[in-house]
Amino acid sequence: MLEEEYQLDYFKAQGFVRKTCKACGAAFWTRDASREVCGDAPCEPYTFIGNPIFRPHTLDTMREAYLSFFERQGHTRIERYPVVARWRDDIYLTIASIADFQPFVTGGIVPPPANPLTISQPCIRLNDLDSVGKSGRHLTTFEMMAHHAFNTPSEEIYWKDRTVELCDQFIASIGGDINQVTYKENPWIGGGNAGPSVEVLIGGLEIATLVFMSLGRQKTQEKGYDLKGEMYYPMKLRIVDTGYGLERLVWASKGSPTIYDAVFPEMVSHVMGLAELDHMLGNKDFAKILALNAKYAGLMDISGTNLFNLRKKVAAAIDISPDKLDKMITPVEKVYAIVDHTRCLAFMLGDCIVPSNVREGYLARLVIRRTLRLMNDLRIKEPLADLIEQQFRILGNRKFEQDIAVVREIVDRETEKYAATLERGTRIVQKVAKTYKAKSQRVPLSEVMTLYDSHGIQPEMVKEIAAREGAVVDLPDNFYSIVADMHSESKKEVEEDKTAKYMDRVRALPPTKKLYYEQPADIEFEAVVLDFFDEYAVLDQTLFYPEGGGQPADTGTLVSAESMVRVDDVIKVGEVVLHHITGGVLQRGERAKGMVDEERRLSLMRHHTATHILLHASKEVLGAHIHQAGAQKGADSSRVDIRHFKHITPDELHRIEIAANRMIMTSQPVEISIEDRTRAEQKYGFSLYQGGVPPGRDIRVVKVAGDIEACAGTHCQNTGEVGMIKIIRVEHIQDGIERIEFTAGVAAIYYMQHLEQIVNTSADILSVQPENLPATVTRFFTEWKDQKKEVERMSGKLVDLETRTLVAEVVGGVNVVIKRIDLPQKELSALASSVAEKGGVALVAGGGETARVVLASGDSRVNAGEIIGQVCSLLGGKGGGKPSMAQGGGPDINQLDLALKVGRERILASLHD
RNA sequence: GGGCCGGUAGAUCAGUGGUAGAUCGCUUCCUUGGCAUGGAAGAGGCCGCGGGUUCAAUUCCCGCCCGGUCCA
């Protein structure tokens, strides 16, 4: 980035000088001409610990100080957005305040909710999860306080000078000495945008970043810049994107040893108490160690082996062994991590994330399990739900959409699930360990991989449990990267977009007038054919709904003067609707009459409206966290996938069904309006985006019985037209997602008639009244089981009886029984083996549909497995088994006597050898 | 969405192309004044569901259902 970007009039007027850091070589601005380093880590250590640089503040007072300062400077205060970025399809969690306004506001498509504005946005970043608690400064959750100004070519709000000036003034307003502040030049690139940026440093701490987003990847007439090999060009919109770290400001205002002591002191002391570490709290020497630890940690990246180096450094400074230090400090680090993680979870669950093994739900589960592990390490018995509830209270209940009772239930469930996984895991590892120990081998890496991949058992745990069993485990340091490599081999399939290839062809055509929105109840229309290619017809206007939003396309017919054709598919390319035609062609310029298949269209509309109703009914019954995870409408039945943390019970399903049908019976009007995206978001919240995030400045808002969504589908005009909703089944798609399959309108009636028929037919078969079906079926089933047992007993007796009447010939001192007994195979086996058990040889055969032969041998000279093959081949079949016991059969029952004769000869021959 | 592992007695799990097993629990009896315990006997299985291969499938193959788990 060019140097002149940072030559601000404000810097000059205030007497700043531009210097180059002696340590890192970066350029920075300062009022202190004698300054030599930039003020950033690792060039400069923390100076504020034990020596606060602002007036003391809590999170709440600091936030208020910030927001009201910027309000006084003409900014509008905006409510925070959720920590789960439901308006984005590229990220799961809100990672910065500017993320609230991407991509539509920053892309210039939609105006901002206010301009300029100020906000304190809770953000979650899990990339530094490992460092949380250890470094003294890392957090998973932080509030990014910001003021944003969006400058357009026609309206300039303010730009770099004013932004830096506001920063100075704000720092002064909370008691900071602006002479200590440095502004470090640090060009910013991210998410396809770039611009000059300065880091705001004081006391060795970066407290804010001021970004001037002014470049984008889109090529323009103006001169471009090459940044890290990519070309960037000036954007029309220039955005002031600032980010002030609320927690860091509070930390610097208190000068406590770690950021954790500063931002959540009540929770730290509470969890310390639970871990029985209270004695550490008042200990001054210990506070010194922590401060020292944080200071050094601030100077280094502590991931991986660096943590050991940090320990060594701190240990050397206070003259104790690194081991001893580690024992002292590790439990406290875990306490900090627990406090941080529970706050993170309060935000995640409070903003309605449902833990699962997909998407943001996976991240929530990750944090939950990590926290449970930490609590277990410290032998904290208090339920995790209690800790999260306390965080809820500290943060203020009103901030969250989700009810604390539901949050508690979710957490308790997750806790139980994790305990079950651990228990199961322990057993599996013990078994594996024993196996390898018995073979006196090491447990191979492949085994550890399977345990992790398939059973979710951490390698460290495998090692620990195996050690208890006395087995050694092969575990390389780069275990996780090996796992990652294994997974990355899976190929990604690129889905072909059929609309893409018509993009150019369609560009010249005017947008199709969408009669299906204007007159959704109509089924006939007239239009002019604008274009015809590849069996696709483009009309000036249409009633045919193109596939989209989980609703399939309409079908129907088009009639022109020349021909009558079927419309079997309809797609939308940009704003142009393409009708796929079969059975003829259409000419450009001719008039055509269109007729939509009425039944199908009506049914699709009913199902679509029903989807909204059902979603709202589910929310009423199950809780605020219910969000749509996908939906597919059909003419006969439809399904909607919802995020929920447990199986929906039959009772809940009934209540949902009733609630949904009540909404139908009250015949509430369906309201559809086109609204400005930002205003709609402010008005209705982000549950608008149940079915995904539509592009564009305006969105189509559909209100159905209290459900408000951005939706492009066709709908009934009031809920009564849906007729009825019948839930067919609920399916558990994957962890955290339940699929409700249902049918609506006439299709629902057909479905119930079908059910009725199944019941009636079944009742007829048993000659009972439908009401008695369950009782009768139960009776039949138990009787069937009893009789099966009875048959078994009888068979046993039969075998006994037969055994006693068997006449054996004695050959070479061995009893040989050859007999045809028409019994099932199982009994034949029992019979033969009872002879063999006494040292005899028995060849028994039975007839029926096919011949069955069993040969059991209690004499080593007679190999049953060999002889049976020959016997069965005579029957046109095969057989086999062990030397002591063989079975077989074949279709030629007539040959049975011959087969027995040959068998007898073979047995006798064997005994004579 | 992609991958991997699993589904056998009430529970936990062995096992096998050829008569379904162990341990705990359960029932009854014996030992004891009673309990812990010890001994004996017994009940309890659509070997997840549906198809295929085979003389024969709980076992092999395919599809489905259910549970677990890793990754994006």
**What is the C-alpha separation between A320 and A285, in angstroms, rounded?**
13
Q: How far apart are CA A735 and CA A644, in angstroms?
A: 9
Question: Reduced to 3 states, what is the DSSP secondary structure of residue A119?
Answer: strand
- Domain extents in chain A: 10-254, 413-484, 502-596, 602-753, 806-912
Reduce the secondary structure of A149-217 to three states and give it as a string.
EEECCCCCCCCHHHHHHHHHHHHHHCCCCHHHCEEEECCEEECCEEECEEEEEECCEEEEEEEEEEEEC
- Tokens 């409070």 label which residue? A350
Angle at A587 (CA atoms; ends A583, A588), nearest 5 degrees: 140
Length A426 CA → B34 C1' (Å): 40
In three state form, how does the secondary structure of A735-799 look? CCEEEEEEEEHHHHHHHHHHHHHHHHHHHHHHCCCHHHHHHHHHHHHHHHHHHHHHHHHHHHHHH
Q: Identify nearest nucleotide to residue A833 by CA to C1′ distance.
A: B19
Distance A417 CA to B7 C1' (A): 19
- Percent of chain A past pLDDT 70, that is, above it, reads 96
Distance measured from the CA of protein residue A777 to the C1' of nucleotide B46, in angstroms: 15
User: Which residue has the least CA–C1' distance to nucleotide B3?
Assistant: A487
Distance of CA A506 to the CA centre of its chain: 37
Cα–Cα dist A573/A594, whole Å: 20
Residue nearest to nucleotide B66 (CA to C1'): A732
CA–CA dist A255, A261 (Å, integer): 9
Q: Straight-line distance from CA A912 to C1' B63, in Å?
A: 53
Identify the residue whose Cα has the smallest distance to the C1' of B54: A878
Q: Is A30 in contact with A19 (CB distance < 8 Å)?
A: yes
Window from A47-51, A322-326, A380-384, A869-873 with minimum mean pLDDT: A322-326
pLDDT digit string (tens) for A11-63? 999 999 999 999 888 899 999 889 888 888 778 888 888 889 999 999 999 99
Distance in angstroms: CA A409, C1' B5: 29
pLDDT mean across residues, chain A: 85
pLDDT of residue A300: 67
The nucleotide closest to A878 (CA, C1' atoms): B55
**Which CATH number does the domain A502-596 belong to among 2.60.40.10, 2.40.30.130, 3.40.50.920, 2.40.50.140?**
2.40.30.130
Query: Strands A27-30 and A76-77, how do they pair?
Result: unpaired
Q: For A474 and B34, how far is CA from C1' in angstroms?
A: 55
pLDDT tens digits for A172-200?
Answer: 999 999 999 999 998 888 767 888 999 99
Q: Closest nt to A826 (CA→C1')?
A: B19
Find out if CATH 3.30.2130.10 is the number for domain A10-254: no
Closest CA to A234 of A159, A147, A148: A159
Q: Which residues pair with A121 in a beta bridge?
A: A144
Nucleotide nearest to A834 (CA to C1'): B19
Question: Over 60: is that where the pLDDT of A153 sits?
Answer: yes
How many angstroms separate the CA atoms of A118 and A67, rounded? 6
Closest C1' nucleotide to A852's CA: B55
The tally of CA atoms less than 13 A away on the side-chain side of residue A870 is: 14
Distances (CA, A) of A320 to A133, A302, A314, A316, A472: 21, 20, 9, 7, 33
Q: What is the pLDDT of residues A697-734, one digit of tens each?
A: 888 899 998 889 888 888 899 999 999 999 888 877 77
Nucleotides of B under 7 A from a protein CB: 1-5, 12-14, 17-20, 44-46, 54-56, 65-72
pLDDT band at A657 (very low <50, low <70, confident <90, very high): very high
Q: Are A112 and A153 in contact (CB under 8 A)?
A: no
Sorting pLDDT into bands at 50, 70 and 90, what band is A304? low
- The pLDDT assigned to A10 comes to 93
Secondary structure (DSSP) of A53-106: SS----HHHHHHHHHHHHHHTTPEE-PPPPSB-TT-SS-SB--SGGGGGTTTTT
Q: What is the dihedral of CA A131, A134, A136, A138, to 10 degrees?
A: 20
Give the model's pLDDT for residue A670: 92
pLDDT tens digits, one per residue of A671-695:
999 898 888 888 888 888 877 777 7
d(CA A823, CA A300): 83
Query: With pLDDT > 90 as the criterion, what percentage of chain A qualifies?
Result: 24
Is the pLDDT at A523 greater than 60, yes or no? yes
Bond prior to A82 in cis (omega within 30° of 0): no
- SS3 sequence of A133-144: CCCCCCCCEEEE
Instruction: Give the distance, in angstroms, between residue A783 CA and nucleotide B26 C1'.
Output: 23
Burial call A618-637: b when 16+ CB within 10 Å, e when fewer: bbbbbbbbbbbbebbbbbeb
> CA of A134 and C1' of B70: distance in angstroms?
27
CA of A141, C1' of B67: distance in angstroms: 34
Give the nucleotide at minimum CA-to-C1' distance from A487.
B71
pLDDT (average), residues A799-813:
83
Dist CA A684 CA A708 (whole Å): 7
Q: Is the pLDDT of residue A388 over 80?
A: yes
Length A427 CA → B29 C1' (Å): 36
Considering all nucleic acid strands, name the nucleotide whose C1' atom is nearest to the C-alpha of residue A890: B55
Give the residue whose CA sits closest to B72 at C1': A359
Nearest nucleotide to the CA of A629, by C1', is B1
Residue A484's pLDDT is 66
* Nucleotide with the nearest C1' to A887 CA: B18
**Res. A75: pLDDT tops 60:** yes
User: Between the CA of A133 and the C1' of B29, what is the distance in angstroms?
Assistant: 63
Ramachandran region, residue A180 (left: φ > 0; alpha: ψ -120 to 50; beta: rest): alpha
For residue A102, pLDDT beyond 70: yes
Q: Please state the rounded mean pLDDT for residues A564-575.
A: 88
Coil, helix or strand at residue A531: strand
CATH number of A806-912: 3.10.310.40
Whole-number pLDDT of residue A69: 96
Q: Find the nucleotide nearest A853 (Cα to C1′).
A: B55
For residue A579, give the H/E element and its range: strand A576-582
Q: What is the pLDDT of residue A544?
A: 93
**Whole-angstrom distance, CA of residue A727 vs CA of residue A748:** 9
Q: How far is the CA of A428 from the C1' of B40 (A)?
A: 35
Q: What pLDDT score does A1 carry?
A: 52
Q: Are A403 and A385 spatial neighbours (Cβ–Cβ below 8 Å)?
A: no
Of all nucleotides in the shown strands, which has a C1' nearest the CA of A784? B46
Whether the complex's predicted ipTM is more than 0.85 is answered with no
Is residue A668 over pLDDT 80?
yes
Model pLDDT, residue A491 = 40
Tell me the pLDDT band of A493, cut-offs 50, 70 and 90. very low
Buried b (16+ CB within 10 A) or exposed e, A492-517: eeeeeeeeeebeebbeebeebbbbbb
User: For A421-448, what is the mean pLDDT?
Assistant: 80
Rg of chain A over all Cα atoms, to the nearest angstrom: 38
Are A407 and A342 in contact, with CB atoms under 8 Å apart?
no
Give the Cα separation of A454 and A456 in Å (integer). Answer: 6
pLDDT band (50, 70, 90) for residue A494: very low
Per-residue pLDDT averaged across A345-365, rounded?
A: 85
The pLDDT of residue A397 is: 59
Interstrand relation of A541-542 and A576-582 (parallel, antiparallel or unpaired): unpaired
Looking across all nucleic acid strands, the nucleotide with the smallest C1' to CA distance from residue A877 is B55
- A432 SS3 class: helix
Alpha-carbon distance values, A334 to A61, A268, A327, A423, A593 (Å) = 27, 11, 12, 23, 73
The mean pLDDT of A652-665, rounded to a whole number, is: 93
pLDDT band at A495 (very low <50, low <70, confident <90, very high): very low
Q: How far is the CA of A736 from the C1' of B61 (A)?
A: 33
Number of CB atoms found within 10 A of residue A323's CB: 10
Lowest mean pLDDT among A376-380, A594-598, A848-852: A848-852
Residue nearest to nucleotide B56 (CA to C1'): A888
Distance A852 CA to B30 C1' (A): 46
Average pLDDT rounded to a whole number, residues A559-573: 88
Q: Write down the architecture of domain A602-753 according to CATH.
A: 2-Layer Sandwich (3.30)
Q: Residues A259-283: what's their mean pLDDT?
A: 85
* Residue A889 near residue A877, CB atoms below 8 Å: yes
Task: Provide, in whole angstroms, the distance separating residue A281's CA from nucleotide B29's C1'.
Answer: 65
Q: What is the average pLDDT across A847-867?
A: 84
Q: What is the mean pLDDT of residues A388-416?
A: 85
pLDDT above 90 for A478: no
Residues 6+ apart with CB under 8 A from A615: A626, A628, A640, A642, A690, A707
